[in-house]
Structure 1
Amino acid sequence: MLVARFYAPGDIRLEDAPEPQAGPGELKIRVRNCSTCGTDVKIHRHGHHHIVPPRVIGHEIAGEVVAAGAGVTGWAEGDRVQVIAAIPCGRCDYCGRGWQTICPNQESMGYHYDGGFAEYMVIPEKVLAVDGVNRIPEGVSFAEASVAEPLACVLNGQEIAGVGEGDTVVVVGAGPIGCMHVRMARARGARQVFLVELNRGRLDMSANVVHPDAAIAGSEVDAVEEVLRLTEGRGADVVITAAASGKAQKDALQMVSRRGRISFFGGLPKDNPIISLDSNVVHYREVTIVGANGSSPAHNRRALELVASGAVPVADLITERLPLADVPKAIETVASGSAIKVTIEP
């Protein structure tokens, strides 16, 4: 079978490999879709400290069951499944308190275990142990199901930030995650959603699909001033920084209303993670700043339900479909920002 293996930064190789076999407690699936994201770009360019090469990467996975290993019940050949990316241990204090997204023992598909840029793959026993294999609802395609993983991360972030009825929400970053944040905010009852992006071409491409109440090009206007103008000086109830930008995080504090909430959804580069902010603004205006890290197995299931119900559509966000042999091209397309969501169809 064909796989895409990471060997070193800038070195992803398409190779022939023997089909893996399901061991005890494991499932073997045929991968039908594995979508790409900015993390794949980071891995390609810089590697990752959890990846010991060579490693088949790809972590937004959907496919169908081919075989079940010894001791696995409840799954049959042909079952359509979506697979979590982040694997909590299920045993630590944080997992016991329901905080699986911050499990200190967390592992990941495509990092610690071979991922979805392959024709076939094995789902580890640890994934099944935390109920991390989800049935794809009827009417949901494999491609849509693969997007449930990043959508689950968006759901987690908006739950933590408390996005709800009547909120005015600003989303900074018009990539696929930003698009999903716009739609998730609407599904959660937001009254207005504004989309901010530096790149005019990317902003127009995304805004034409998700239709925010305002599309703000940060390269052409002062985004803070524009948000304040649109909110008559009050600021937004919630600001979500869906971009790896320290400036976006600092600007968020100027865009947010009194008693507002800021979600630092996008992490900063590891070599430049420090920002400065006016803590008195946080103090006197009673602003809440929260983080968001990935998603739990339950978030993945709920994300699939949101797609199936039509509450958060994702099919039209998938603007490029490429074969497995084009994984390098897919990663470069993601890096260029010329597509919203790129999926691989082995």
Structure 2
Amino acid sequence: MKPIVTETRTAIINAAHDAQIVVRPIHDLGEHDVLIKILSCNLCTSEYGLWSGARTNKPLPMTFGHEWAGEIIQVGERVSGLAVGDFVGGSYTFDPYSTEALEGRTSEAPGVKPYDTQWPDGYYGRYDGCAEYLVQSQESIYKFENKIRPSEAGFLEPLATVINGIKKLDIKKGETVVVIGGGTMGVLNALVAKQKGARVIVSELMEKKIRVAEQLGLEVIDGSRVDPVEEVRARTDGRGADTVILAVAATAANKQGFAMLKKLHGKVLMFAAGYPAPEVGVDANKIHYGKMQIFGTFLGEFADFKESCHLLGSGEIDVSPLVDKEYPFDQIQQAFENAIIPGGYRTTVVMQ
């Protein structure tokens, strides 16, 4: 099917500190594809890390943008469950008929593009949602039950990755969960853990992030004023945390996380990645004798995106304080300059 729009302006990271907007053709719609008018796209940590030069693990020039929200303006001939006018977000593409997908492991399924995928026009990238228009297959499109602010709908993917990690922890009501790091992903982890019935404590150093966490009703430790390990033990009558979520990638944070864990059967979720990679921060014998469980997590699955879509669309998870600043699409360079300022949350690029 021929698209009703034939070209799109798309943002690319051309080189360190160099974001540009280029014009790209829109390919024909397959029978299960939809054409989306993008309303906004949030800048992810991995993207502004690449733009700043802090991350050098992906090829350039690269298309990007996976925290987008938009409106469907055209559907393929065999699309079901989606219609023109629907307010949607998206995930990575995948083969829905593969064994992995049918087992619920969509992030491991064939069809998930690696970051070094090269598009026909020469650009690299897994995603290309920071654009005016996007064609994507229906299995990776999620319809919101209410039309919320597009910049908030852009949290679909980050929240889905959090949900995926939280599921691994099997959090029980009343358990103490400490989240180290009060940035965007730390706050999302804290909000989901709290929704599961846990007592959640966020450990953070920066005053702005402490204020936002408190605004969202979270218990906070100001790590610039007290020793977080001693404070966690004091607040738990010496017992320590049942679970620690490491939402900042730093050796010091890792060491703190393991030190504040309860003596036996503690759980640690290694949520954040860092470049260069931090040390794990714990003696192997302590893992052994303490009967610890350590989890890694990356991406979310189809079911996690569905849950994320519901939590955002219903308003059960409030991400409004995590939208830092919005920039018009033509100011993509300025948007990246804002995104790398320490202490911020999500920077949003608005297409209209």
Shorter chain as normaliser: what TM range?
A: 0.7 to 0.9
Structure 1: gaps of 5 or more residues = none
* Kept after mapping to 1: 8 A contact 2:156/2:309: yes
> Aligned runs of 1:271-290 on 2, under 5 Å?
271-290=276-295
- Partner amino acid for 2:130? F
- Partner amino acid for 1:204? I
Counterparts of 2:293 and 2:114, CA distance in 1: 30
Report the CA distance between 1:302 and its aligned residue: 0.5
* Kept after mapping to 1: 8 A contact 2:212/2:321: no
Q: Secondary structure at the match of 2:256?
A: helix
Partner of 2:158 in structure 1?
Answer: 150
Q: Spell out, residue by residue over 1:33-87, the C-alpha distance to the aligned partner (whole angstroms, 9 max, x if none).
A: 2112211112213466554x43331110110112234554443322211111x34
Partner of 1:174 in structure 2?
Answer: 182
* Kept after mapping to 1: 8 A contact 2:209/2:343: no
Cα distance change, pair 275–113 in 1 and its aligned pair in 2 (3 A): closer
Q: Secondary structure at the match of 1:236?
A: coil
* Kept after mapping to 1: 8 A contact 2:146/2:314: no
Counterparts of 1:293 and 1:277, CA distance in 2: 21
Q: Secondary structure at the match of 1:336?
A: coil
Partner of 1:107 in structure 2?
Answer: 113
- Partner amino acid for 1:28? L
Structure 1 vs Structure 2 CA RMSD = 2.5
Partner of 1:268 in structure 2?
Answer: 274
Alignment counterpart, residue 131 of structure 2, candidates 112, 118, 125: 118
* Kept after mapping to 1: 8 A contact 2:156/2:305: yes
Which deviates the most, 104-113 or 239-248? Answer: 104-113
Does 1:38 pair with 2:10? no
Counterparts of 2:127 and 2:312, CA distance in 1: 27
Does 1:229 pair with 2:237? no
* Kept after mapping to 2: 8 A contact 1:19/1:120: no
Counterparts of 2:302 and 2:339, CA distance in 1: 26
Report the CA distance between 1:91 and its aligned residue: 6.0
Counterparts of 1:45 and 1:122, CA distance in 2: 28
- Partner amino acid for 1:339? G
Does 1:216 pair with 2:221? yes
Q: Spell out, residue by residue over 1:5-49, the C-alpha distance to the aligned partner (whole angstroms, 9 max, x if none).
A: 11222221134x155244324322110121122111122134665
Q: Secondary structure at the match of 2:242?
A: strand
Which deviates the most, 106-115 or 247-256? Answer: 106-115
Structure 2: gaps of 5 or more residues = 1-7, 118-123
Counterparts of 1:67 and 1:93, CA distance in 2: 30
Does 1:305 pair with 2:310? yes
TM-score, scaled relative to structure 2? 0.85
* Kept after mapping to 1: 8 A contact 2:70/2:150: yes
- Equivalent pairs, count: 334
* Kept after mapping to 2: 8 A contact 1:56/1:118: no
Does 1:29 pair with 2:42? no
Counterparts of 1:22 and 1:61, CA distance in 2: 21
**Residue identity (%):** 28
Q: Secondary structure at the match of 1:112?
A: coil
* Kept after mapping to 2: 8 A contact 1:239/1:252: yes
Alignment counterpart, residue 202 of structure 2, candidates 191, 195, 203: 195
- Partner amino acid for 1:121? L
Partner of 2:212 in structure 1?
Answer: 206
Partner of 1:83 in structure 2?
Answer: 90
Counterparts of 1:113 and 1:340, CA distance in 2: 23
- Partner amino acid for 2:265? R
TM-score, scaled relative to structure 1? 0.87
Cα distance change, pair 136–120 in 1 and its aligned pair in 2 (3 A): same
* Kept after mapping to 2: 8 A contact 1:21/1:28: no
Partner of 2:5 in structure 1?
Answer: none
* Kept after mapping to 2: 8 A contact 1:202/1:337: no
Cα distance change, pair 339–89 in 1 and its aligned pair in 2 (3 A): same
Report the CA distance between 1:250 and its aligned residue: 2.3
